[in-house]
Amino acid sequence: MKIHNTLTKRKEDFETIEPMKVRMYVCGPTVYDFIHIGNARPMIVFDSFRRYLTFLGYDVNYVSNFTDIDDKIINRANELGIDPKDLASQYIVECKKDMEGMNIMPATTHPLATEEIDGMIDLISKLIDKGFAYVGKDGTVYYDTTKFKEYGKLSHKNLDDLQSGFRDIKVTGEEDKKTSTDFVLWKPKKEGEPYWKSPWCDGRPGWHTECCVMAPKYCKGALDIHAGGEDLVFPHHENEIAQYEPIYGAPYARYWMHNAFLNINNQKMSKSLGNFFTVRDVLSRFSGNVLRLFMLSTQYRAMLNFSFELMESSKASLTRIKNCVDNIIFTLKNKNVTVNLNSRLDNIDDFDELVVDLKTCEEFRDKEVEAFDKICEHTKIYFDKLDDDFNTADAETEIYEIVRIVNQTISEDCSIEFLNASYMILNTLLGILGIDLTKEGSDTDLDEKLIESMISERSEAKKAKDYARADEIRKKLLDMGIEIEDTRQGVKWKKV
Ligand SMILES: [Zn+2]
């Protein structure tokens, strides 16, 4: 598998620090409000990437934080007249609800910045001791960017350019800064703000220090993958590297993965433009599955344009997939086979085994042999696409190809083996993208009792030689999209 590394600007072979183990850290949201649709992109992309790594057999330690102390949180809490801690806890709960709505797996660990202050004080002390940080008159601690020779290596900027870019920007409260690119590691409290005691002053850590303490602690060492939105490359991730590497004397992360922005109707999302949407807004109109199918329909490093029209089109695509899967389930039901809706291949070896097992399957009808071959071909292309810098956009195309083949092949006389394998493969490929059709509000379960009772009413009518009534019921069922067939084994029905 190859992934694009922001650090080298190249696609590189993926090799982990420990064999078959992945230490992955994804910067989480600052919790001062409901998360917006822009926050959802890294969540969905990297959740799917985690699922794919797991499918490939890796044991993934997935860490994603909540920034629960920050200027934005304090300002919002002050506006509302509540404790910043309460505000943050409330929005962590809301964020987790949205994540569940988007079918995002909980991280292995979700550390909170406010619970890691000791580790941050410890790191800052070490940076001061080693001469990489200095203390201003008011107790503010600054990182000295001139001391770290590799500063700018992630964002591919050199320090001189950065400094000239920053020259005119003076931030109040940072008067003792030596160089414009220096950044704050610890800042003194203001009246009414939450604070922690430290050797320098009562105050709180800077944001860049938070991740760089939580990531190695919960990933247990340097990272295989550090991921986040591209807006985090500079200064956030650049500053994390600058703190970690002088202390640990080793690379902080092997691979840096960054997803591109999300625009709304080809414009930057902003509250002032009136095109600001929360995940909650979107999930009130579309399912989490539709949102995922949409978000993954663009490769993660390409700009993604969000609009409700495009979401409608993803919804139509999901319906197409679901109809195909429902058809497989119906056809199996008519053969008295109940499908375990959660059945999927756990890992890539299971897929290879399935291919070998069914290559010589004697139950396959002629048309199924050919169809199964094609399905396997498209499945392999799907994996190749994901292996190529996680190209979910092209991988989705392969799912549609498989749906097309199944639709062309499926009929009453299909073998149980072909139907089962088709279900298994589709459910697996959808599962890697985090699409769970059982959450799609299946109409099959809802209608089933009604259908059965209508069928038995029709049989009663036929017995009573009331053929007009029997025909009427058959027509009604057909209007509902259900076709019935009288067979020697009884009445069978299927969705049409
Ligand atoms: Zn971060």
Give me the mean pLDDT over the 438-466 stretch.
80
Percent pLDDT > 90 in the chain is 85
Predicted structure pTM score: 0.89
Report CA(466)–ligand 1 centroid distance (Å): 72
pLDDT digits (tens, 9 = 90+) for 359-394: 889 999 999 999 999 999 999 999 999 999 999 999
> Residue 467: its pLDDT value, please?
93
pLDDT digits (tens, 9 = 90+) for 405-417: 999 999 999 999 9
Give me the mean pLDDT over the 429-437 stretch.
97
> Residue 488: its pLDDT value, please?
75
- Cα distance between residue 300 and residue 41, in whole Å: 8
Q: Which two tokens stand for residue 368?
A: 């199924």
pLDDT band at 442 (very low <50, low <70, confident <90, very high): low
pLDDT band at 170 (very low <50, low <70, confident <90, very high): low
Say if residue 286's pLDDT is above 90.
yes
What proportions of the chain, in percent to the nearest 5, are helix, strand and coil?
50, 15, 35
Burial of 17 (0-12, 13-18, 19+ CB in 10 A): middle
> Residue 449: its pLDDT value, please?
75
Percent pLDDT > 70 in the chain is 97
Nearest to 328 by CA among 249, 221, 216, 442: 442
Report CA(194)–ligand 1 centroid distance (Å): 21
Q: Which residues contact 115 (CB under 8 A, 6 or more apart)?
A: none
Give me the mean pLDDT over the 37-51 stretch.
97
Q: Provide the terminal-to-terminal Cα distance of the chain, rounded to the nearest Å.
A: 41
Residue carrying the six token digits 């009331």: 466
Cα torsion through 438, 444, 449, 451, rounded to 10: -170
Q: Which two tokens stand for residue 96?
A: 């987790």
> Residue 161: its pLDDT value, please?
79
Q: Which two tokens stand for residue 246?
A: 């002088």
Q: Helical H runs in 19-101?
A: 37-55, 71-80, 84-101
Give Cα separations from 496 to 418, 437, 481 (angstroms). Answer: 19, 19, 5
Better-predicted residue by pLDDT, 349 or 445: 349
Radius of gyration of the chain (CA): 28
Report CA(28)–ligand 1 centroid distance (Å): 7
Computed from CA positions of residues 209, 143, 118, 81, in that sequence, does the dihedral angle turn out positive or negative? negative
Report CA(229)–ligand 1 centroid distance (Å): 10
Nearest to 205 by CA among 255, 240, 166, 171: 240
Report CA(357)–ligand 1 centroid distance (Å): 46
Report CA(27)–ligand 1 centroid distance (Å): 4
Give me the mean pLDDT over the 51-64 stretch.
98
Report CA(144)–ligand 1 centroid distance (Å): 20
Report CA(376)–ligand 1 centroid distance (Å): 40
Beta bridge partners of 186: 141, 205
Give me the mean pLDDT over the 41-63 stretch.
98
- H/E run at residue 162: helix 159-166
Say if residue 201's pLDDT is above 80.
yes
Give me the mean pLDDT over the 262-272 stretch.
90
- CATH says 2-285 is which class? alpha beta
Give me the mean pLDDT over the 32-55 stretch.
97
- Cα distance between residue 67 and residue 73, in whole Å: 9
Give Cα separations from 368 to 32, 170, 413, 423, 429 (angstroms). Answer: 54, 70, 11, 14, 20
Write down the mean pLDDT value for the chain: 94
- Cα distance between residue 246 and residue 261, in whole Å: 31
Q: ω into residue 84 within 30 of 0, thus cis?
A: no
Say if residue 443's pLDDT is above 70.
no
Report CA(89)–ligand 1 centroid distance (Å): 19
Nearest to 196 by CA among 138, 118, 124, 137: 118
- Cα distance between residue 99 and residue 43, in whole Å: 8
Q: Which two tokens stand for residue 379?
A: 């499945």
- The dihedrals phi and psi of 295, each to the nearest 5 degrees, come to -60, -35
Do β-strands 141-143 and 183-188 pair in parallel, antiparallel, or remain unpaired? antiparallel
Report CA(266)–ligand 1 centroid distance (Å): 27
> Residue 159: its pLDDT value, please?
81
Nearest to 26 by CA among 300, 284, 271: 300
pLDDT digits (tens, 9 = 90+) for 299-342: 999 999 999 999 999 999 999 999 999 999 999 999 999 999 99
CB atoms closer than 10 angstroms to residue 338? 8
Report CA(88)–ligand 1 centroid distance (Å): 17
> Residue 367: its pLDDT value, please?
95
pLDDT band at 163 (very low <50, low <70, confident <90, very high): confident
Give me the mean pLDDT over the 459-486 stretch.
89
Locate the domains of the chain by residue range. 2-285, 306-439, 443-495
Are 92 and 68 in contact by the 8 Å Cβ rule? The answer is yes
Report CA(171)–ligand 1 centroid distance (Å): 22
- H/E run at residue 395: helix 392-409
Give me the mean pLDDT over the 239-262 stretch.
97
Q: Which residues contact 281 (CB under 8 A, 6 or more apart)?
A: 37
Q: At what angle do helices 366-387 and 416-432 cross, to 10 degrees?
A: 10
Report CA(232)–ligand 1 centroid distance (Å): 7
